[in-house]
Chain A
């Protein structure tokens, strides 16, 4: 089976030494989320820059070592542009070719962060994220597809992911869950 997830690197296909790169929609090489020990919570590589898990982990380690102490948003590592952002115990990274428009990569990073922030009700930290892993998987799937930026508006992403945790049939909810959702519904109706 072929893999469009691996179609990447059309930039590098152009002969070296040529200052221009093949115009292409393939923008993102990888999206990573690491915890405050540098451990991988989420990693999606869209091309063959790091084909094996071993190389990926080595790259993640390098990235984390170079970035976790400074909060400076952007860096150049191993010939790749890395834009990043940290919040409490989470580190978000979007990686692209060093020839890529840095602001495009930044828009992906911001969209990912803002979407998660809405989905987790501003509570962007490791524990909340791990409890909503499926939300994260779906969100990234809506933001980047095989290296192409699919959507950059967090509102759209949240809308499309449409996580409706309250949809579970009543029989399967525990008493506390029912109470919790009842409470929230009352609160919302009051706020309106």
Chain B
């Protein structure tokens, strides 16, 4: 019996962890032996190890207990045991943020960093810099400078890396060590070289000229360290991008020459840099692609992964450049690393021909369940891209997607699939019914509220317009019975849309609605009651206004207005018209197919551009009382690129005024501009009310000045106007190096290009999901029909784009997409002018002139 017990004990003990049952309080108790004399290095070492282990496990130490242990630990500096001393350094680093008064070890550490024991010096520097602040840093500055140029590599490296950490806190002090870092950069040791280069770049990165000089020097002299080469490549490609240097620049030649380096790390870095350059031609890509191709057959998984991941990126922009690697990629499909296999397949999907799609899809489905969600998303994105390329393959894709939808997977993965299916439905009308059927099946068993409501919304929009809308009702009503409040409410809204659009379904919808009115949730009940009453009126206008086309205001704007309203209580009811409209609704925004989502942060509802402007303008006292901001235009450039001053204008339209915001940048480093205004001469009856100058405009710091203009009241048709603009200012010459200006200045002016105010500035885009209903709602008496000849336009697409940008209205029902091989097209536009809504249905016909 006893024997058996022993055996069991040993078994569980064999792999067990001697640190497993550590108690923080017991360990801190043990730490008292630090105070015993003589010091027992072995026992003390063991206790320090335990303390660091606990910290490492995420154990929380209170300030008092940490400080107590820390002070006890400082006694251990009396021992000369090497390992113990090193563990003291580690404890200092680990406790630097939790214990108080850690600076008391400064003198001990300074002694060690300048002492004779090389083993101590590097770690002592790192520990010291961890507890030092700017004022203390100046006291040890002399030692740091010496350490940077020390001949022992570990000392020099430690000093350089610690300096890099300190840059953020004490830039001005570390900046003075540039010469020492420069000296270290020519060290023989590869790591010292790397660290010195990193520090030098960090200190100089805002000075483009210095960076360029540094690059020039190192690319010529050549470095030993592969790490330093990688860093150089990154700096070079960064500089290339910033200066928009052409690919004939010596920097590009340097990066390309690195493709022949003997270290794989450097070769890969160079290839990756070339691939990521914007506007690279196929010819420039070719050498990079061919080294990546070689890496595809490497025995190292990491290298194969890196290569295929980079090729995948190339394939997004230049699929043809990768076709040469198709054979190597095919071999990787069976790679034991599933990540590599997935990347290989998705790359092939981008480069392969239409005929290979079926085969590749079959291969993916064989292992899709084994890969991580991140890669499943990559697969879905590849499929989504493929559907756009080969629309005829949508049935294969749709099948595949619906299978994936049934598998297990996280929210991101499911959302990617749903988004992909929705985009297929929107691109191919003939796939609509199968797509909707798959989505209906999905919401039968869907744990993600966001996706369920999104799909219900889509069903409400698309379902009523399908040949047999009745079959969706069952799926929707099931949700009302089974799901959480948010989904139930969405289902009720979807039901109402069916009732409003299909007269023969209306009676049954009303019956279902009646049941929803008994729901336990307030929102669901309210919605049901509301829709019930609207539907019973059987009026198209009501249906259009309250069921199809709901709120079109911007959500952050609404939130802000409501908040404002509660702050200033008034007798007047809240006016919905004061809320800025949403410029484009989320559903219309095309989701950009990023390679792999790297953002982990939850998406925040970003305030729209207009909300930001509204806030900025409201902060200027001169513009108070203008009312809510109606529309802000895109910026218009009023100067050529590369002139002395760069000016762009943003036009803000208010109810009866316009504010012109001039964003000016001074590109002359020997001038300081003051009291900058842009004087405007209108061509029509626009009245200039006030100029708000920019107080000062130092070199390369953008500033804004404003002009306030009143719109002509008596003539509402005078919407367009041309302004001639002149920038006037006071110039003070200054020293380009210090930025110190002269005492006196002189007035000067600079002529800008003319600024046009057009129809589009007075019209805001609104999105009407159901255009026909909105059109009907208005009625015939407000309709006006006219015919225009667009003489200079050649294609339908061009016509559509021109009309949209001229009128500044929102295309609806995806009518801005012109089908191929047609010679007429109807464009639906919706917009809101200052006080009323405008709808336009443009019938564009191409007429061939004889």
Q: Give chain A's interface residues, CB within 8 Å of chain B.
A: 1-5, 7, 16, 19-25, 35-36, 39-44, 49, 53, 56-57, 66, 70, 72-79, 83, 89, 97-99, 101-107, 126-127, 130-131, 133-134, 137-138, 141-142, 145-146, 148-152, 156, 160-164, 167-168, 172
B655 at the interface (CB under 8 A from A): no
Inter-chain contacts of A99 with B (CB < 8 A): 598
B372 and A145 contacting across the interface, CB-CB below 8 Å: no
- Report the separation of the CA atoms of residues A106 and B129 in the bound assembly, to the nearest whole angstrom: 28
Chain B nearest Cβ from A5, distance in angstroms:
8
Chain A nearest Cβ from B790, distance in angstroms:
35
Chain B 175-215, CB-CB to A under 8 Å as 1, else 0, gives 00000000000000001001100110110010000000000
B302 and A130 contacting across the interface, CB-CB below 8 Å: no
Inter-chain contacts of B198 with A (CB < 8 A): 24-25, 148
Inter-chain contacts of B53 with A (CB < 8 A): 133
A79 and B237 contacting across the interface, CB-CB below 8 Å: no
Chain A nearest Cβ from B733, distance in angstroms:
34
Inter-chain contacts of A53 with B (CB < 8 A): 58
Inter-chain contacts of A3 with B (CB < 8 A): 96-97, 130
Give the contact stretch, choosing among B331-339, B568-576, B775-783.
B331-339
Chain B 201-238, CB-CB to A under 8 Å as 1, else 0, gives 11001000000000000000000000100110011011
B788 at the interface (CB under 8 A from A): no
Inter-chain contacts of A5 with B (CB < 8 A): 93, 130
A134 and B83 contacting across the interface, CB-CB below 8 Å: yes
A2-B169, A53-B58, A70-B336 as given contacts; A151 in contact with B191, CB under 8 Å: yes
A57-B58, A107-B265 as given contacts; A1 in contact with B600, CB under 8 Å: no
B555 at the interface (CB under 8 A from A): no
> Looking at the complex, which one of A57, A107, A133 makes contact with B19 (CB distance below 8 Å)?
A133
A145 and B158 contacting across the interface, CB-CB below 8 Å: yes
- Report the separation of the CA atoms of residues A57 and B56 in the bound assembly, to the nearest whole angstrom: 12
> Looking at the complex, which one of B58, B96, B339 makes contact with A56 (CB distance below 8 Å)?
B58
Inter-chain contacts of B230 with A (CB < 8 A): 101, 104
Inter-chain contacts of B161 with A (CB < 8 A): 25, 145-146, 148, 150
A74 and B305 contacting across the interface, CB-CB below 8 Å: yes
- Report the separation of the CA atoms of residues A156 and B158 in the bound assembly, to the nearest whole angstrom: 14
B227 and A23 contacting across the interface, CB-CB below 8 Å: no
B195 and A148 contacting across the interface, CB-CB below 8 Å: yes
Chain A nearest Cβ from B92, distance in angstroms:
11
Chain B nearest Cβ from A25, distance in angstroms:
4
A73 and B301 contacting across the interface, CB-CB below 8 Å: yes
B86 and A70 contacting across the interface, CB-CB below 8 Å: no
Chain B 387-424, CB-CB to A under 8 Å as 1, else 0, gives 00000000000000000000000000000000000000
B81 at the interface (CB under 8 A from A): yes
A23-B201, A72-B339 as given contacts; A7 in contact with B168, CB under 8 Å: yes
B82 at the interface (CB under 8 A from A): yes
A146 and B17 contacting across the interface, CB-CB below 8 Å: no
A72 and B337 contacting across the interface, CB-CB below 8 Å: yes
B375 at the interface (CB under 8 A from A): yes
Chain B nearest Cβ from A57, distance in angstroms:
7
B604 at the interface (CB under 8 A from A): no
> Looking at the complex, which one of B42, B276, B596 makes contact with A168 (CB distance below 8 Å)?
B42
A130-B19, A164-B83 as given contacts; A150 in contact with B158, CB under 8 Å: yes
B68 at the interface (CB under 8 A from A): no
A106-B302, A138-B86 as given contacts; A1 in contact with B52, CB under 8 Å: no
A-B residue pairs, 3 tightest by C-beta: A4-B165, A53-B58, A23-B234
B17 and A130 contacting across the interface, CB-CB below 8 Å: yes
A2-B169, A101-B230 as given contacts; A25 in contact with B195, CB under 8 Å: yes
Chain B 54-72, CB-CB to A under 8 Å as 1, else 0, gives 0011100000000000000
Interface size class of B (residues with CB under 8 A): 35 or more
Given contacts A57-B58, A145-B162, 6 further A-B contacts (CB under 8 A): A1-B96, A25-B161, A73-B300, A79-B599, A103-B302, A156-B153
Inter-chain contacts of A98 with B (CB < 8 A): 596, 598
- Name B275's closest neighbour in chain A (CB-CB): A19
Contacting residues of chain B (771-804) with chain A, CB-CB under 8 angstroms: none
Q: Give chain B's interface residues, CB within 8 Å of chain A.
A: 14-15, 17-19, 40-42, 45, 48-49, 52-53, 56-58, 81-83, 86-87, 90, 93, 96-97, 102, 119, 122-123, 126, 129-131, 133, 153-154, 157-158, 161-162, 164-166, 168-169, 191, 194-195, 198-199, 201-202, 205, 227, 230-231, 234-235, 237-238, 241, 264-265, 268-269, 272, 276, 278, 300-303, 305-306, 336-340, 372, 374-375, 596-600
> Looking at the complex, which one of A21, A103, A152 makes contact with B303 (CB distance below 8 Å)?
A103
B301 and A134 contacting across the interface, CB-CB below 8 Å: no
B40 and A172 contacting across the interface, CB-CB below 8 Å: yes
A79 and B231 contacting across the interface, CB-CB below 8 Å: no
- Report the separation of the CA atoms of residues A97 and B300 in the bound assembly, to the nearest whole angstrom: 20
A7-B165, A19-B276, A25-B161 as given contacts; A160 in contact with B231, CB under 8 Å: no
B87 and A137 contacting across the interface, CB-CB below 8 Å: yes
A76 and B596 contacting across the interface, CB-CB below 8 Å: yes
- Name B263's closest neighbour in chain A (CB-CB): A103
Inter-chain contacts of A19 with B (CB < 8 A): 276, 278
> Which of B131, B230, B339 has the most CB atoms of chain A within a 10 A radius of its CB?
B339
- Report the separation of the CA atoms of residues A23 and B164 in the bound assembly, to the nearest whole angstrom: 13
A101 and B599 contacting across the interface, CB-CB below 8 Å: no
A141 and B123 contacting across the interface, CB-CB below 8 Å: yes
A101 and B269 contacting across the interface, CB-CB below 8 Å: yes
- Report the separation of the CA atoms of residues A126 and B168 in the bound assembly, to the nearest whole angstrom: 39
- Name A56's closest neighbour in chain B (CB-CB): B58
- Name A4's closest neighbour in chain B (CB-CB): B165
A1-B97, A25-B198, A130-B17 as given contacts; A78 in contact with B301, CB under 8 Å: no
- Name A157's closest neighbour in chain B (CB-CB): B154
B227 and A78 contacting across the interface, CB-CB below 8 Å: no
> Looking at the complex, which one of A43, A72, A151 makes contact with B56 (CB distance below 8 Å)?
A43
Inter-chain contacts of A66 with B (CB < 8 A): 372
A162-B82, A172-B40 as given contacts; A16 in contact with B599, CB under 8 Å: yes
Chain B nearest Cβ from A137, distance in angstroms:
6
- Report the separation of the CA atoms of residues A108 and B836 in the bound assembly, to the nearest whole angstrom: 65
B122 and A160 contacting across the interface, CB-CB below 8 Å: yes
> Looking at the complex, which one of B17, B52, B305, B374 makes contact with A126 (CB distance below 8 Å)?
B17
A160 and B83 contacting across the interface, CB-CB below 8 Å: no
- Name B310's closest neighbour in chain A (CB-CB): A102
B241 and A72 contacting across the interface, CB-CB below 8 Å: no
